[in-house]
C-alpha cells in the first residue's frame, strides 16, 4: 500500500504583466495589469507518472492573457478575469477549476491625451546639512511612475555585432522618476524658500516636461525635465535625476493569428528587468555640482 497520496494541487502562470492601450483618436486609455492564472483538475498522472497528456502549458496561459487583452479589451478586471476563467475551464477537459488573480495599476492623465502618472503618491525626501554657519538643503522625490504611450522614438543609435534592438519611431516611454534638487539658500539671514510651494511646483514642472517633450531618447527627456525645473524655480541650482527605462515591448501575437498593431489598440509586455538606467545632473549656469552621484 502506498504511504502517501496527492493532495490539493494547482499550476499556472504567475504575474503576467500586460498593458493594454486603446487609442480613441488623440485620447489614449491605459489598462495596466498583473495577471496570475492557477489551474486545477485531473492532474494525478503528471504528478505520479510524469505524463503531460492533461497539462496545458503555463506558457499557453500567458499567451491567452495577451490574446484576450487584444480580442476583448479590458473593460474591468472582474470581466477580464471572468473571460479567462471561463475559457480555461470550458475549453480544457482536464481542468475543472481556474483561479485568476489580477492587480490593476492605476494611471492618472497628466496634460495631453497620451501622458500618464501612476496613481498613488510618490515618496517625498529631503536631506538637511548644517555646519553652524551654512545650510545645504537637498530635497527630492522617488517612486513617481510616469508613462507616455506615444511621442517617443529611439533610432539612429550605434550598432555593433551584438546589437539586436530594432529602431522604432513610436514606442511607449515609461520610467520611475527619482529626483533630487539642491536649494541655493544657505544662510539664515536670507529669505528661506516656501518649501511646500516649491515641492509642489518642482513636481509639476517635472511632470509637465515629461508629458510635453517629444522624446528622441530618455536622455533628452531627462535634460528637459531638469532644465524646466531650474529655469522656472530660481531657488534651485541643481537637479539630479535617475530614470530607469521601464521597457514596454509589443507582444508578438502573429503565432496566435492576431495582429498587434498600434493604430487602434495594442498589447505590451511590461518588463521589469533588466532595464536601462539613465542618470544625469542639470545645473544652473555658474553653479557647482554638490549632489552626490549615489547616496
The residues annotated with a catalytic role in the active site are 13, 58, 247
Report whether the peptide linkage leading into residue 2 is cis, meaning its omega lies within 30 degrees of zero: no
C-alpha cell at 2: 502506498
Sign of CA dihedral 280, 241, 152, 80: positive
Rounded CA gap, 205 and 202, in Å?
A: 5
- Four-point Cα dihedral 252, 255, 259, 265, nearest 10: -50
Q: What number of residues does the chain have? A: 295
Distances in whole angstroms, Cα of residue 197 to Cα of each of 120, 193, 233: 20, 8, 11
How far is it, in rounded angstroms, from Cα 103 to Cα 36?
Answer: 9
Amino acid at each position: 500500500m502506498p504511504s502517501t497520496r496527492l493532495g490539493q494541487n494547482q499550476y499556472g502562470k504567475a504575474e503576467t504583466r500586460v498593458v493594454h492601450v486603446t487609442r480613441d483618436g488623440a485620447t489614449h486609455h491605459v489598462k495596466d495589469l498583473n495577471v496570475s492564472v492557477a489551474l486545477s483538475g485531473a492532474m494525478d498522472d503528471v504528478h505520479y507518472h510524469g505524463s503531460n497528456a492533461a497539462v496545458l502549458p503555463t506558457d499557453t496561459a500567458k499567451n491567452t492573457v495577451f490574446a484576450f487583452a487584444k480580442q476583448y479589451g479590458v473593460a474591468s478586471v472582474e470581466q477580464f478575469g471572468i473571460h479567462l476563467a471561463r475559457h480555461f475551464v470550458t475549453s480544457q477537459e482536464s481542468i475543472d477549476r481556474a483561479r485568476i488573480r489580477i492587480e490593476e495599476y492605476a494611471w492618472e492623465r497628466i496634460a495631453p491625451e497620451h501622458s500618464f502618472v501612476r496613481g498613488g503618491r510618490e515618496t517625498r525626501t529631503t536631506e538637511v546639512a548644517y555646519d553652524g554657519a551654512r545650510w545645504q538643503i537637498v530635497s527630492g522625490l522617488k517612486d513617481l511612475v510616469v508613462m507616455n504611450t506615444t511621442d517617443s522614438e529611439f533610432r539612429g543609435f550605434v550598432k555593433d555585432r551584438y546589437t539586436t534592438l530594432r529602431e522604432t519611431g513610436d514606442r511607449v516611454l515609461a520610467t520611475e522618476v527619482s529626483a533630487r534638487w539642491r536649494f541655493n539658500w544657505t544662510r539664515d539671514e536670507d529669505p528661506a524658500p516656501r518649501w511646500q510651494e516649491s515641492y509642489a511646483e518642482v513636481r509639476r514642472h517635472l511632470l509637465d516636461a515629461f508629458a510635453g517633450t517629444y522624446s528622441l531618447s530618455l536622455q533628452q527627456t531627462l535634460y528637459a525635465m531638469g532644465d524646466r525645473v531650474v529655469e522656472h524655480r530660481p531657488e534651485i541650482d541643481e537637479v539630479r535625476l535617475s530614470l530607469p527605462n521601464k521597457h514596454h515591448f509589443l507582444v508578438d501575437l502573429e503565432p496566435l493569428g492576431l495582429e498587434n498593431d498600434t493604430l487602434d489598440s495594442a498589447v505590451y509586455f511590461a518588463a521589469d528587468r533588466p532595464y536601462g538606467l539613465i542618470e544625469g545632473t542639470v545645473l544652473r549656469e555658474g553653479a557647482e555640482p554638490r549632489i552626490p552621484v549615489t547616496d
